[in-house]
Structure 1
Amino acid sequence: MFKCKESQKGGISLVELFSFGPFSVHFFGVTIAAGMIAALYLATQEAKRVNLSEDAIFDVVLYSLLGGIIGARLLYILVYDPVYYLTNPFEVFRIQAGGLSIHGGILGGFFLGLWRALRNKLDVWHVADLLAPALILGQAIGRIGCDVFGVPMDKPFFWGVEQNGQIVHPVQAYELTLNYLLFAWLWTKRKSIHYKGQIFVHYLIGFSAIRSIVELFRMNPEVLGLLSVSHLLSFVGILTGLLLQQYLKKRYPLMTREHIPTSLTRTIGITFLLIIISTGLYYFVQG
């Protein structure tokens, strides 16, 4: 049984699982890595199912993950604390100290993945549909170890977690649960799409809506009334998804539907099993 200990780096509470020499392994890093592996595995399995080159999809996913990390870091720096990083440029590379924006990760991953899909001469929107369920699955797993907690609860409800002597909202558990539910929706929706890019559009709108809801319980600076930067970015994501929906419906309609043997009961069962295991692990380590 490992012993968890918390350390303060950059104002963020990181759960350290173990260390060797000057190197530390944190819970968040482990869950992010697990999420990436799960996303990569699911994407390559889907590529095999539709007779796409597994090597080409592996290439797209690998670059998307790289773009996601770069984009997540850059947007966080530009939006949340540019002055600090201008005066402390080497801090840019201390990702282990915290400071990643999921919206930046989506942007960076999309554009680098788009580039690689075009280089591999793949149908971009077909690939986007293929990768969307894998992407949200990876995000759900990664969120288990997230080190940003919510605002204090009005009352000490039993599902709250203690941080610095206060009972706060377990926003990571909220988000991972909603992400898994979105995964289940995208997974079952694959067999009834009406245009290319529909699964990706549902992912973009769905995740942006999830983030808008979860943001209500997070402690982020408000920039417009009660709205945070993350709220504004999520609204942009929803609007982009709606505009994409109208464009893709007209540009890439599908006359025939692909037969995909998907059991709704099995999908629901696996989804709830993942939610139970993930929230259990979250409370075991973070609670």
Structure 2
Amino acid sequence: MFFNIQPYDRVFIELGPVPIYWYGVIIATGAALGLWLATREAKRLGLKEDIFVDLLIFAIPAAILFARIYYVIFEWDRYAGAPWWKVFAVWEGGIAIHGALIGSVLTAWLFAKVKGISFWMLADIAAPSLLLGQAIGRWGNFMNQEAHGGPVTEDAYNNFIQYIPDFITNQMIIEGVMYQPTFLYESVWNILGLILLLYLRKVNPRRGELFFSYLIWYSFGRFFIEGLRTDSLYLMGTDIRVARLISVLLIAASVALMYFRRKKGYANVHYNGQLPSKK
């Protein structure tokens, strides 16, 4: 199927010679709403209201740095022969969510140590915000016409794609070909995960387990969605998609750590700070 539709402009506004892109505006919106959600919950649980503002001052630069390092490592062949400054050219694209996650988690762990706060408490509070930010952030990929799947077949269009709103499918038309809107699939999956985590918060699980639930939920959906994408990073010298491998490892590690922490008595405090009832 061939289409001829003009895509949305990637530029949100131009301030003189400086363009402000939709991608950045959408990412910033997701971060702001995630911060709002975490701040409300931190205050409810008795933490300082601005604790996550303080954390983000360090976590955002670390997340960007690690997201770029992660991407460059798995795309090294692309950068090895390029000018050295290309490694730092984030504005040309090339960051990875798993790298950002590594950077932000390490920063949160160090931050918690310095502040004398439970890392698991911070991680649990942040978990729904991470899914909210990721769900919104994927729409930056929509504006950039990236992170999409392969071409839509006629059967796929007739059976499923035609029911997706036109403003979405039209933006997935690149050089006359319509591609799978995998950004949309992941965004919806993350919204469903957000609803689940907000419910689990009320159930009051053991401390740390809300964060592990986030890792399991996100990784499970990412494993299948990644198989549809055309821009995957691959393990060097193999046809193994890195995001799928990391997803499997995160699920296995999360389940193992939940079991281990309960077994060893490291998860005796509930999400809201209560000790488990004795029966």
TM-score, normalised relative to structure 2: 0.81
The answer as to 2:227 corresponding to 1:232 is no
- Percent of pairs with identical residues: 30
Distance 1:141 1:53 in 2: 26
Which residue is equivalent to 1:39? 34
Which residue is equivalent to 1:116? 111
For residues 151-230 of structure 1, the aligned pairs below 5 Å read 151-155=150-154, 156=157, 157-158=161-162, 159=164, 160=169, 161-219=172-230, 220=232, 223=235, 227-230=240-243
Q: Which of 103, 127, 131 pairs up with 1:136?
A: 131
Question: Does the C-alpha gap of structure 1 residues 88 and 198 become closer, same or farther in structure 2, counting only changes over 3 Å?
Answer: same
Deviation at 1:87, TM superposition (A): 3.5
Segment of structure 1 superposing worse, 223-232 or 104-113:
223-232
Distance 1:228 1:257 in 2: 34
Number of residue equivalences:
249
The answer as to 2:65 corresponding to 1:70 is yes
One-letter identity of the residue aligned with 1:232: L
CA contact (8 A) 1:191 1:258 kept: no
CA contact (8 A) 1:18 1:25 kept: yes
Q: Which runs of 5+ in 2 are unaligned?
A: 1-5, 274-279
Question: Does the C-alpha gap of structure 1 residues 75 and 255 become closer, same or farther in structure 2, counting only changes over 3 Å?
Answer: closer
Partner SS state of residue 54, structure 1: coil
CA contact (8 A) 1:4 1:16 kept: no
Question: Does the C-alpha gap of structure 1 residues 180 and 218 become closer, same or farther in structure 2, counting only changes over 3 Å?
Answer: same
CA contact (8 A) 1:4 1:17 kept: no
Distance 2:100 2:271 in 1: 31
Question: Does the C-alpha gap of structure 1 residues 213 and 62 become closer, same or farther in structure 2, counting only changes over 3 Å?
Answer: farther
Deviation at 1:100, TM superposition (A): 0.7
Q: Which of 31, 44, 60 pairs up with 1:49?
A: 44
Question: Does the C-alpha gap of structure 1 residues 65 and 256 become closer, same or farther in structure 2, counting only changes over 3 Å?
Answer: closer
CA contact (8 A) 2:206 2:271 kept: no
Segment of structure 1 superposing worse, 169-178 or 79-88:
79-88
Deviation at 1:225, TM superposition (A): 7.5
The answer as to 2:267 corresponding to 1:253 is yes
Question: Does the C-alpha gap of structure 1 residues 188 and 93 become closer, same or farther in structure 2, counting only changes over 3 Å?
Answer: same
Partner SS state of residue 233, structure 1: helix
TM-score, normalised relative to structure 1: 0.79
Question: Does the C-alpha gap of structure 1 residues 121 and 128 become closer, same or farther in structure 2, counting only changes over 3 Å?
Answer: same
CA contact (8 A) 1:31 1:144 kept: yes
Which residue is equivalent to 2:276? none
Which has the higher relative contact order, 1 or 2, with Cα contacts under 8 A spaced 6 or more apart?
A: 2
Segment of structure 1 superposing worse, 197-206 or 151-160:
151-160
One-letter identity of the residue aligned with 1:124: F
Partner SS state of residue 50, structure 2: helix
More strand by share: 1
Question: Does the C-alpha gap of structure 1 residues 255 and 119 become closer, same or farther in structure 2, counting only changes over 3 Å?
Answer: closer
CA contact (8 A) 2:68 2:94 kept: yes
CA contact (8 A) 1:196 1:252 kept: no
Q: Which runs of 5+ in 1 are unaligned?
A: 7-14, 260-287
Distance 1:177 1:28 in 2: 18
